[in-house]
Amino acid sequence: MLDENKTFEPLIVAFCCNWCSYAGADLAGTSRLSYPPNVKIIKVPCSCRVDPIFVLRAFGKGADGVIVCGCHPGDCHYSTGNYFTRRRFTLMFNLMDYLGIERDRMRLEWVSAAEATKFARVMNEFTETITNLGPNRQIVDLRNLPEGYEDLEREPHREILPPATDKSRDIPSVAKIEEQMKLRATKLLADGVVDRVLAWKKGDHETMPEPAFFDHPGQIEDLVYNKYCAPNLSKYLMNAPWLGGKLFDGSTLVFLKPCDSYSFNQLIKENLVNTDKVHIIGIGCGGTVQVEELEDAGMWEKCQVCTKVSHPVGDEIIDLSDDSPRLEKDARFELVEAIEALEAPDRFAYWQSQLSKCIRCNACRNTCPVCNCKRCVFSSDKMDMASKVNANEFEEQLFHIVRAYHVAGRCSDCGECSRVCPQDIPVHLLNRKFIKDINEFYGEYQAGENIEAPEPLTSYDLNNDGQIDINKGVRT
Amino acid sequence: MERIGFFVCHCGSNIKATVDPDVVLDGVRGIAGVVVAEQYPYMCAKTGQNMIADAIRDNQLTGLVVAACSPRMHEATFRKVAEAAGLNPYMVEIANIREHVSWIHKDKEEGSQKAVALAKAAIAKVKLNAPLFPEENSVVKRALVIGGGIAGIQAALDIAEAGFEVDLVEATPSIGGKMAQLDKTFPTLDCSACILTPKMVDAASHDKINIMTYAEVEKVEGFVGNFTVTVRKKARSVCMEKCTGCGDCWNKCPVKNVPLEFDLGLQNRKAIYIPFAQALPLVPVIDREHCIMFKSGKCGLCKTVCQPGAIQFDEVDELVEQKYGAVITATGFETINLDKFGEFAYNDSKDVITSFEFERITHGAGPTGGELVRLSDGRKPKSITFIQCVGSRDVTGRGKPYCSKICCMYTAKHAVLIKDKYPDIDVNVFYIDMRTPGKAYDEFYRRGAEEYGVKYIKGQVGKVVDKGTHLELSAVDMLDNVQLDLKTDMVVLATAIQPTASAKPLASKLSASIDTNNFMTEAHVKLRPVESPTAGVYLAGAGQGPKDIPETVGQAGAAAAKVIGLLSKKVLLSNPCTAAVDPKACNGCSLCSPVCPYGAISYGPMEINDHGFKTLERVSHVNLALCQGCGACVVVCPSGAMDLQGFSNKQLLAEVDALC
């Protein structure tokens, strides 16, 4: 092993901000301070220009270490750029750690234009660290099934995570809610207050209700509301033409469960729904259940740990479920903690076993309320990635990581991504890791709760953020 | 198809010694699109430039890569060459193989291979470059000078003399700054006031200079050529137009015990006061913290005696907004606090003073009327000991790591002045190193030591104890390597200087950078020493680094020349490396606006034509005049609708791919 390391010459990519670190590297040259030639510098105008995608790409293409260098906080040439860099990479590095990828392979350092000595020292240290770590194989391997973990493929949840306990709380009032929904829908349609109703209708089987539009009172008898009505309706209301919003002339009545209303409120925040054209009725929910072979198979994990009982947005409320049991404590992060508690190789194997099942059907992306881009980066030629078709394996490795990063700070934890996954990949546990870290590092934040609140990744708090060790991912 | 020209510079032996140009050329020759691959000893020299220009014309190059020194050195040079030869200047990329390769790597093989890698990355990037065209912006023909010391006064005068309007903002009630507090100046020993006050009068009476004293910069918006600055003119409580400066008010004011800042607290002033007799404007200020009228509502004596009726107790702060093309910061310095240097007994003894306090004591208008006496008992000292580097070149963490630069010379001045007037006083100077570079400086210091009998002792003082009638010093003479126990009557500390407290907040308002010691950073230490990295912001005086009067005046003149050059331009070309939105991909989610430090992003409806299907959509819009090209918005944009010209997603990913 040691002998192998001696001949191993790592490839290290350094993203350096033009104003500080790149100039610091120049000064290291001018001062003839040496550091290993393994380090190759890419100039960026500001550390905030470094997209975590670039870092992933470098790893995916064979880099053994990636370092991002920027101005010291407070010294950004653009005043605030590095404050965003700091939050982005703190969270991103933590996610990589959560995926079981050695976090020592990535680093963020503040190097001023004057700190030539520091630049050379950091590069010497980093090269030594990477040399000792050996070649990077992990990210490239993330989507391949790990050896010795074949049995994980079938029942990965059961093996690694605590067994799901059915905390199903089938509330008797759901039938009454459905009754009132029908009454209100019929009346609002008949009175011409709304032009259509968005709700669920009977599917092929009673366990398969599906989202549907109702255009006149006569159709309302098909409206159903029961414990199988899991699909989040909020995204159907986007007035975005690229998602069919152009069809929405007139006004729409929509029924939103508590979790759906958080998603909807987030869409209001992102200016993607026209609230003038929507009449919202918040409805009570007692949790939804998953179905296997037309039989109840226990409550969805997302519902078991759901603490959302109120509606942050709504014109009316129909909630008769006050008698239903509510979770007293937020147990959302138990699974995240269970994964965090694993040793790094096991974490890696776990995620490898999960992500290797992905068939890139895009169901998670299509159902996610905040995956609302007109053109996804995975459909955009701008990022050299192709849509749907798997242009190359590398793209595959990035998809879930990039998607989790793109919804970080915006995800309301509705859990739809995992619910719709035909391969049972617990995608939402990536999003929830971000939520957990955001809460811990930057204060409790619930996307969709308050549309005025600044989002964690587009804001900063100087007193707080400096206390977090970016490279270790802990509060100092 | 791209037609890329690639050139390797030897930089004499600077590059060639550790990077083999032939290896670099071999490394890129096979790359698709590279049609020219040449080398030359000095690409930046005229012959090298011509070589590039000829290649651009002869081969109809669509892109140019120069593997040479840092782009911070010569990117601009090669862009000009490209432009003159008909290639858009933004089709040029630099592979930095000097600072980042040849100067740091000793092994020629390794160095050459790294140079090849960097060259490949630059070629990969240049293939994706797009021609960029700068925007033209107008220039407001008015300058703002912040700080009314000698630096600010000189800069304002020079700009005004060139015919441009200048606003000079000063925080204290009068212009003049530190130089007004000084008695004599080295190395000529001419009176400071005699050379400063005429300049103050020139500035105050110049029809192009508008002086705002007792005022501070509140807010800065905009960019080079078009800054909008809000200045807070603090309520003076005295009408500038009506006041004649007669002095009746401050003579009658019953509040007598406020330490006079100008005299470093060695003398008291009234609640309504002028800081010194030659103050400009000669209009007093009411210090509301100490004025009885403001504290209890009873007094108003000044108003009673003021014949022109200039006193206005109800005056409030005034916010003045003005547009400027350029800004000069000249915020100057202050001495550090000596609380952490207990060994010198500064806080315990009246006879341990700083050099600036000494300056006031020897000043004819100072607290002792120019009489050199001990502040404790008014006795004339028989011996005076100067201690150098108090808090300068400090490695203990209590002071400053840098040399304060002016102390050796002003101490030499003080020593000579004492000896000249009172030859019987013994003068000892403890120093670490004497640093006297400068015209006629070393001669001056030597004259003190050799002709006036000033005793210079290389060594540090470990302890000063006030014994009432005298002070006792424990010190080491490092040349004779002996312990010294001295008695002296007065100790003068050459206290380290630091930028004024206002420098840091001002820098953040201007988006200008400061270094770890809060000195303003220059755009280039050697080649752009009077410019801040923020376009349109210039630096003068000790706020940029310790410096004496001649240097300060020289730098102020240089900054003024830069400002005059800027204001003389008809239009300014903006950096075209700005963010740009692809409206077809933007969904108006509004994530980008909160991260923009310049408020350059707004949202509005735009007609989108998607394959003939037209819709009106809310999309992001970037104000190119405000965007500085940081890229924060690009990274928060999940769809890639926002991109940065010159550093696009594709370009940076191409660089990553080329390196990996």
Dist CA B618 CA B8 (whole Å)? 48
Q: Check if the beta carbon of residue B264 is closer than 8 Å to that of residue B356.
A: yes
Find the CB nearest A79 among B508, B610, B656: B508
Instruction: Tell which of B126, B159, B188 closes a domain.
Output: B126
Question: Domain holding B467: CATH number?
Answer: 3.50.50.60
Q: What is the pLDDT of residue A453?
A: 92
Residue numbers in B near A139 (CB within 8 A): none
Find the mean pLDDT for residues B326-337. Answer: 97
pLDDT at A165: 53
Please name which of B341, B388, B354 lies closest in space to residue B490, comparing C-alpha atoms: B354
pLDDT in tens, A104-161: 999 999 999 889 999 999 999 999 999 999 988 777 677 666 665 555 444 444 455 5
Q: Are B593 and A457 in contact (CB under 8 A)?
A: no
Residue B116 lies in a domain: yes
Record the pTM: 0.71
Are both B174 and B321 inside the same structural domain? yes
In chain A, residues 102-121 whose CB comes closer than 8 Å to chain B? 112-114, 120
Residue A406, chain B, CB below 8 Å: the answer is: yes
Note which residues in 440-469 of chain A have CB less than 8 A from chain B: 454-455, 457-459
- A78 and B630 in contact by Cβ < 8 A? yes
Residue A88: list chain B partners with CB under 8 A.
Answer: 635
Q: How far is B587 from chain A (nearest CA, A)?
A: 6
Within 8 A of B584 by CB-CB distance, chain A residues are 374-375
Q: Answer yes or no: is B650 within a domain.
A: no
B188 & B70 share domain:
no
In the predicted structure, residue A244 carries a pLDDT above the cut 80: no
Contacts 24+ apart (CB under 8 A), B189-197: B189/B413, B189/B416, B189/B417, B193/B278, B196/B150, B197/B278
Which of A21, A22, A49, A462 has the highest number of chain B CBs within 10 A, making it the mutation to test binding with B?
A: A49
Please name the member of A43, A62, A383 whose beta carbon is closest to the beta carbon of B653.
A383
Instruction: Assess A57–B contact: CB distance below 8 Å, yes or no.
Output: yes
Q: Enumerate the domain spans of chain A.
A: 1-155+331-476, 174-318
Instruction: Indicate the residue of A11, A30, A377 with minimum beta-carbon distance to B640.
Output: A377
Indicate which of A272, A373, A383, A401 best probes the interface with B, i.e. most B CBs within 10 Å of its own CB: A373
Q: Cβ of A401 under 8 Å from any chain B Cβ?
A: no
pLDDT beyond 90 at A424: no
> Which of B533, B632, B649 shows the shortest C-beta gap to A84?
B632
pLDDT digits (tens, 9 = 90+) for B148-167: 999 999 999 999 999 999 99
B513 closest CB neighbour out of A28, A63, A77: A77
pLDDT of A403 strictly over 80: yes
Nearest-angstrom CA–CA distance, A177 and B548: 83
Total domains present in chain B: 5
- Tell whether the model's pLDDT for residue A170 goes beyond 60: no
Residue B48 clears pLDDT 90, i.e. is over it? yes
CB pairs under 8 A between A and B: 218
User: What are A341-381's pLDDT values in tens digits?
Assistant: 988 888 888 888 888 888 888 899 999 999 988 888 887 77
CB contact under 8 A, B640 and A457: no
Do the Cβ atoms of A34 and B656 come within 8 Å?
A: no
Last residue of a domain, one of B514, B536, B567: B567
Q: Give percent of chain B above pLDDT 90.
A: 88
pLDDT tens for B531-573 read 987 789 999 999 999 999 999 999 999 999 999 999 999 998 8
- The verdict on B110 and B177 lying in the same domain is no
- Residue B518 within any structural domain of the chain: yes
What pLDDT was estimated at residue A154? Answer: 46
CB-CB: which of B591, B618, B644 is closest to A49? B644
Q: Return phi, psi of residue A186, to 5°.
A: -60, -45
pLDDT of residue A464: 93
Nearest CA in chain A to B629: A45
Q: What is the pLDDT of residue A329?
A: 61
Tens digit of each residue's pLDDT (9 = 90 or more) over A266-289:
999 998 888 888 999 999 888 888
Judged by CB atoms closer than 8 Å, whether chains meet at A37 and B610 is answered as: no
Do B78 and B116 lie in one domain? The reply is yes
Work out the burial of residue B481: count CB atoms within 10 Å of its CB; fewer than 13 is exposed, 13-18 middle, 19 or more buried: exposed
Looking at mean pLDDT, say which of A3-12, B340-349, B597-606 comes out highest: B340-349
Residues B486 and B600 in one domain: no
Residue A242 pLDDT level (bands cut at 50, 70, 90): low
Residues of A in contact with B643 (CB under 8 A): 382
**pLDDT for B228-283, tens place per residue?**
999 999 999 999 999 999 999 999 999 999 999 999 999 999 999 999 999 999 99
* B31 min Cα distance to partner chain A (Å): 19
At residue B142 the predicted structure's pLDDT band, cuts being 50, 70 and 90, is very high
pLDDT for the residue A236: 87
Task: Kindly give, in sequence order, each residue whose CB lies less than 8 Å from that of residue A240, ignoring residues fewer than 6 positions away.
Answer: A272, A372, A374, B587, B617
pLDDT at residue B648, as a whole number: 94
Give me the half-sphere count of Cα atoms (radius 13 Å) on the Cβ side of residue B603. 17
Among A29, A374, A383, whose Cβ lies nearest the Cβ of B99?
Answer: A29
Check whether residue B362 and residue B410 sit in a common domain. Answer: yes
Residue contact A384–B650, C-beta within 8 A? yes
The verdict on residue B654 lying in a domain is no
- For the stretch A35-69, pLDDT in tens is 999 999 999 999 999 999 999 989 888 899 999 99
B98 neighbourhood in chain A, CB within 8 Å: 29
Min Cα separation B51/chain A (Å):
26
| Token code pair at residue A38 | 């393994």
How far off is chain B from A384, nearest CA to CA, in Å?
A: 7
Which two tokens mark A170?
Answer: 């089938």
The answer as to whether B387 is a domain residue is yes
Q: Which residue of A has its CA nearest to B653?
A: A54
Of A19, A48, A58, the CB nearest to B635: A48
A380 at the B interface (CB within 8 A)? yes
Disruptive mutation site among A13, A32, A77, A394 for chain B (greatest number of B CBs within 10 Å): A77
Cα(A301)–Cα(A287) distance, integer angstroms: 10
Say if residue B363 is in the same domain as residue B507.
Answer: no
Q: How confident is the model at residue A172 (pLDDT cuts 50, 70, 90)?
A: low
If you measure CA to CA, which chain A residue comes closest to B108? Answer: A37
* Domain annotation covers residue B259: yes
Task: Give the C-alpha separation, B163 to B62, whole Å.
Answer: 44
**Burial environment of residue A402 by CB neighbours within 10 A (0 to 12, 13 to 18, 19 or more):** buried
CATH number, residue B622: 3.30.70.3270
A-chain residues near B611 (CB < 8 A): none
- Answer yes or no: do B448 and B468 share one domain: yes
Instruction: Give the CATH number of the domain where residue B55 resides.
Output: 3.40.50
**Are B301 and B323 members of one domain?**
no
Assign A104 to helix, strand or coil.
Answer: helix
Q: Are residues B630 and B555 in the same domain?
A: no
Encode pLDDT of B601-651 as tens digits.
999 989 888 777 788 888 999 988 778 899 999 999 998 899 999 999 999
* Cross-chain Cβ contact A383/B584 below 8 Å: no
Domain with B613 in it: 579-644
Same domain, B254 and B275: yes
* 8 Å CB contact between A244 and A273: no
- Confirm or reject contact between A81 and chain B (CB < 8 A): yes
- Judged by CB atoms closer than 8 Å, whether chains meet at A457 and B636 is answered as yes
* Alpha-carbon separation of residue B6 from B44, B66, B81, B365 (angstroms): 14, 6, 14, 69
User: Is residue A84 less than 8 Å (CB to CB) from chain B?
Assistant: yes
DSSP for residue B98: I
Residues of B in contact with A26 (CB under 8 A): 70, 72, 96, 99-100
Comparing CB atoms, the residue among B70, B617, B656 nearest residue A42 is B656
CB-CB neighbours of A476 under 10 Å:
7
Give the distance from residue A253's alpha carbon to the nearest chain B alpha carbon, in angstroms.
23
**A88–chain B Cβ distance below 8 A for any pair:** yes
Q: B150-161 and B192-205 helices cross at what angle (nearest 10)? A: 40
On whether residue B131 sits in a domain, the answer given is no
